[in-house]
Structure formats: C-alpha cells, structure tokens
Amino acid sequence: MKKILALLLALTLALGLAACGGGATTESAAPAASEEPAATVKNLVILVPNADHGWTGAVMTYAQEKADEITAAGTYNAKVITSTDPANQISQVEDLIENKSADAVVILPQDNTLEATMKKLANSGIPFVMFDRVIDSVASQAVASVKGDNQGIGIATAERFIANGMKPGDKILIMPGDNSSVPEMRNKGFFDTLLANGWTQEQVDAIKSTAYTGWSRSEGKKLFTEWLETSTVDEITATKWIFTHDDEIAMGILEALKGSDIDQAKKDAFLNAGVNLGTSSGLNEMYSVLKGIHQKDYTAEVAKLADLFSVTYDPGMIKIAIQDMADSLDGKEVAQDHVVPVSVVDATNVADFQGFGDAVSK
C-alpha cells in the first residue's frame, strides 16, 4: 500500500512540474519577422526647353509620357522640368547640383551657352545623358549622347539635290537653326557630301546662309522675305537649291509665298525658278503639305517647286535618351554615342511616316 501511495505521489509531482513550465522547453516562440529597409527611389530629372508647339513641344510631350511610365514602374521617380531660356536652364542645373536633388539627369541643352554649367554637372558626379544638342567638351563624360543623325540630314539633303541635277558651283541658300552643334553637324554632312562630289572648297565657302532662324517659323518667314527683298531677280532665279534646317522654317517660306508682302516680280522669279526645297524634322503640318491636304492649301506653291522633301528627326528620340539613362542606372551597358538614323520623306512615301504636332489638314 505504501508503495502504491509513493508511486501516486511521484506521478502527481511530475504532472505538476509539467503544468508549471516544463512545456516551455518543447515550444519556442515564433521568431519576429525580419524587416528589410525599403529601397530608396532614385530621382531622375529630365530638363527640356519649354514650348507649346513644334518639335520642342513634341519633345516635352514625349518626355512626360516616358517619365510617367518610368515613375509608375516604381524604381525611379522621373520628373520633367522645363526652362524658358538658357539662363533659366543654367539656374536649374546649378540648383540640382547644389541641392543634390537629382541622382541622374537627362538634358536637352538650350544652346551652347550651357557649356560651363554642363562642365559643373559633369564634375559633380551626377550621371547625365545629353539629348539632341551635344556639348562636345563634356561628351566623353556623359553616359550617352542621344541624337538624330544630324550629319545624315545634311548628307541626305545634298544627295537628293545632286540626284535632282545640282552641279558644283550652283547657287544654294541655307537657312540654319541656331549656333548649337545641330546646325554645325547638318552643314558638315551637307558640305562634306558636296566636296566628295566634285565641289571645291572655294565653291562650298561661297554658299550663302541667312542669319539664325532660331528654329522659328516667323523668323524663317522674315529672313526668307528679307533675302528676296535684298536679292536681284537674276540672283533669285539662279538659286534653285534651298536647305532649311527644320520644317518650321520651310513652313515660314510657304507662308511668305502665299502672302502678299513680297514684291510680285520677285515672288514670280522664285516660283518659276524650279526650286528644290529640302527641310527636316517630321512636322505633321509639313506632311499635310506633302499629302496636299493642308487646310491653307499650298498646292499651287508646291506645284511650282521642282522638289519638296523632309528628312526625319523624330522628337520621340527623347524617350530613347531617358531609357538609356534608366538602363545605365540599372547596370546595363548603353552606347555612349547613340545616333538614330534618318529617312527622306516626300509626296510618294509620306503615308508611311508618322509626324508630330497638329496635322492642320482639311
């Protein structure tokens, strides 16, 4: 009986110990969930000139579309900042450097007056991509320089003129954009092609050029009108080859010809000269002219031209520039000199190309 009582007592003590905490050795608390710090979203700043129309206006639109796409993906916060003039853009770049508010920059420089500021950006350690206008002194420090084939525009224009019968020494008028690298490269491609096709340097040097148009239709119209006013009828008749650097400039020429401000004898001399008009960019309004559906009806003026064509320079290339910057930040390799090829658009193939801006059609 004593043995039974002792056994029961031992069993009771064992059960009591288990109830008081023995189970703690067989159950462990669930480990706290590990929390990794959220990845910092990098700021990708896109700097472009402000414009509400034309090529630069289209650049703004495409830049915002790409910025929205990249921001939505969540890795980068892409923001488009516009500038009213070179001084404004210089201030924007310097603020980004001073405040360290950008992890990367994509910039369409207003013009070459940004050179000193671009050197500051290059030396700041902030990676950057230049678009369209390339500041040569910092090109080697850029992640990439993305641009259309500006030399290709000059080459294609010269080749078209030559195919249409232009001979060494013929009278040519050039209407350039501005003082940046873009007109320099377009002219270089044009002049080099002439030199390779029998022109002498003296003949190339004799080619006339107007003042800078600033890529402006109104300024192009004004400078073209001034050229007609200051030229003799014989000089106008002899000038059968006109190379404008942008469709806006060419539209200014067409507007001038349709207007009543030009002396009629000089207008007739121009329209009867058999002029070949080469331009570039891909403005939808120019494409409407080539299709013969422009609401202002330039068919009579165009019919008097021996040729009218536009070499492509797509503002949508800004999306390529922004993507190149994002790819570089992701550790991918990008081409430092990223040149987008061109095509020649005329009345025979304009239906195959998509322009930018309003079509201004009937």
Q: Is residue 34 very low, low, confident or very high in pLDDT (cuts 50, 70, 90)? A: very low
Q: How far apart are CA 248 and CA 252, in angstroms?
A: 6
What is the count of structural domains for the chain? 2
How many Å is the maximal CA-CA distance in the chain? 143
- Indicate if 141 and 154 belong to the same structural domain: no
What residue spans of the chain are helical by DSSP H?
Answer: 2-20, 54-73, 86-99, 115-124, 150-163, 181-195, 201-205, 217-230, 233-238, 247-258, 264-271, 284-291, 299-304, 317-329
CATH classification at residue 139: 3.40.50.2300
How many CB atoms within 10 Å of residue 140? Answer: 9
- Indicate if 195 and 258 belong to the same structural domain: yes
Task: Provide the residue range defining the domain that includes 236.
Answer: 150-314+344-352
Q: Which of 62, 72, 214, 190 is nearest to 131 (CA)?
A: 62
Q: How far apart are CA 357 and CA 343, in angstroms?
A: 19
- Indicate if 333 and 219 belong to the same structural domain: no
The predicted pLDDT at position 238 comes to: 98
> What pTM was computed for the model?
0.78
**Does position 24 have pLDDT exceeding 70, yes or no?**
no
- Indicate if 204 and 303 belong to the same structural domain: yes
How many CB atoms within 10 Å of residue 75? Answer: 14
- Indicate if 253 and 233 belong to the same structural domain: yes
**Does position 343 have pLDDT exceeding 90, yes or no?**
yes
**More reliable by pLDDT, 144 or 34:** 144
- Indicate if 209 and 188 belong to the same structural domain: yes
**Does position 85 have pLDDT exceeding 90, yes or no?**
yes
Residue 10 lies in a domain: no
Q: Is 215 helix (H, G, I), strand (E, B) or coil?
A: coil
The predicted pLDDT at position 51 comes to: 86
- Indicate if 287 and 326 belong to the same structural domain: no
The predicted pLDDT at position 39 comes to: 59
**Average pLDDT of the segment spanning 213-234:** 96
Is the distance from CB of 239 to CB of 172 less than 8 angstroms? Answer: yes
Residue 35 lies in a domain: no
The predicted pLDDT at position 52 comes to: 72
Average pLDDT of the chain, as a whole number = 90
Q: How far apart are CA 260 and CA 281, in angstroms?
A: 28
- Indicate if 49 and 93 belong to the same structural domain: yes
Residue 48, token pair as written in the block: 């472009």
Q: Is 168 helix (H, G, I), strand (E, B) or coil?
A: coil
**Does position 2 have pLDDT exceeding 50, yes or no?**
no
**Does position 322 have pLDDT exceeding 80, yes or no?**
yes
- Indicate if 165 and 310 belong to the same structural domain: yes
Q: Of how many residues is the chain composed?
A: 362
**More reliable by pLDDT, 106 or 6:** 106
Residue 24 lies in a domain: no
**Does position 220 have pLDDT exceeding 70, yes or no?**
yes
Residue 301, token pair as written in the block: 């003026």
Q: How far apart are CA 217 and CA 53, in angstroms?
A: 11
**Average pLDDT of the segment spanning 132-155:** 96
